[in-house]
Structure 1
């Protein structure tokens, strides 16, 4: 459960080591939550977005861990969030044609239909994205 200021919402959360393999552990947590809530319609998009957020934290953050939270916002709506201990906010880049990276926030933007953001914390930040199964196309 997560206190949101407007009430308590069901949530799953886990602290993971800041390493590339943690994206897989974050997806496992997400699948567990979505299965419990019967929200399979948002799974593929949510997995991709969460993988991007965890990967960004692994590459750019400091310290040894990140915190992943999956919160049910409604019947078909879920928020995925990653907290890390860096105050630097993610910024979209314009990667070159041959660049292997730099497209993560474009993916987050498209799949969340622009419903993502950064909440600064005294000691770092939380990057989140909201996904809704009723969107259907998820930015395609």
Structure 2
């Protein structure tokens, strides 16, 4: 999915956001696999009105994940914190659908 994301953005002339978007996609997909059992996961990339919208849908309703800082010696648990910080740095936002099955992130393309 990282390669697909990078290729789609690069082909649209959005190389300026490709690194950040690729990392966001990687973290959201990893989160979906870990928490849904890796069933069918759908990635959607949409560019509209100067915003890149990334959505990862795992089809499994459940508790809404939150970005929490893990202990310093923890080996995982930083993915959504990274997504949150990338979104902030790009004047964007991130969140989870009410049913917990879709996690999304929006990145502004103004700097592109």
TM, length-normalised to structure 1: 0.68
- The answer to whether 1:86 aligns with 2:60 is yes
How many residue pairs get aligned? The number is 108
Separation in 2 of the partners of 1:74 and 1:32?
21
Separation in 1 of the partners of 2:42 and 2:109?
24
RMSD, aligned CA: 2.0
Give the superposition deviation at 1:112.
0.6
Normalized per residue, the structure richer in helix is: 2
- The answer to whether 1:120 aligns with 2:98 is yes
**Partner SS for 2:46:** strand
Residues 39, 58 of structure 2: 8 Å contact kept: no
**Partner SS for 1:34:** helix
Residues 60, 101 of structure 2: 8 Å contact kept: yes
Give the superposition deviation at 1:135.
5.3
**Partner SS for 2:41:** strand
Question: Tell me, which stretches of 5 or more residues in structure 2 are unaligned?
Answer: none
Higher relative contact order (CA 8 A, sep 6+): 2
The structure-2 alpha-carbon separation of the partners of 1:36 and 1:90, relative to structure 1 and needing over 3 Å to count, comes to: same
Cα deviation code 1:38-92 (max 9, x no counterpart): 11110111011111000000100146210011111234x3111100122221122
Which of 13, 36, 49 does residue 38 from structure 1 map onto? Answer: 13
Question: Tell me, which stretches of 5 or more residues in structure 1 are unaligned?
Answer: 1-25
Which structure 1 residue ranges, 4+ long, deviate > 6 Å from structure 2?
none
> Which protein shows a greater Rg?
1
**Partner SS for 1:120:** coil
